[in-house]
Amino acid sequence: MIRTTRLASFAVTALAAAGLTTSALIGAGAASAGTVDDLFLEDVANVGIAYDTASGAINDGQLVCQRLDEGADPDDILADYRAASPELTVRQAKGFIVAAATAYCPEYL
């Protein structure tokens, strides 16, 4: 399981991956979950990431957007996330960033 403390920096890194799978983002938003948070959690689970708590995952996803709002480079966000959670594959890290941007800050897609 991913720890929330490590995900804060991971979330920032993952956003860099968002640029390479725009079509995947469009498909991810088509899920039938009830809320934005539900959609986000479903997308995260679909890339094989497990969290200790849903609220921790949601917080980490929102941190991706916060870092983007602050002007962080998506590649830096991805690198930070991978460094904080080395057990994740690049695909998982990118998937997390894309899921976060899709749910919480689609203006960055």
Domain boundaries, the chain: 4-108
Query: Is the confidence at residue 18, as pLDDT, over 80?
Result: no
In contact, 2 and 68? CB cutoff 8 Å: no
Residue at token pair 């930070």: 80
Q: What is the mean pLDDT of the chain?
A: 79
- Predicted local distance difference test score (pLDDT) of residue 108: 95
Average pLDDT on 12-20 reads: 39
CA atoms within 13 A on the CB side of 71: 0
- Predicted local distance difference test score (pLDDT) of residue 13: 42
Q: Measure the CA–CA gap between 71 and 42, rounded to whole angstroms.
A: 27
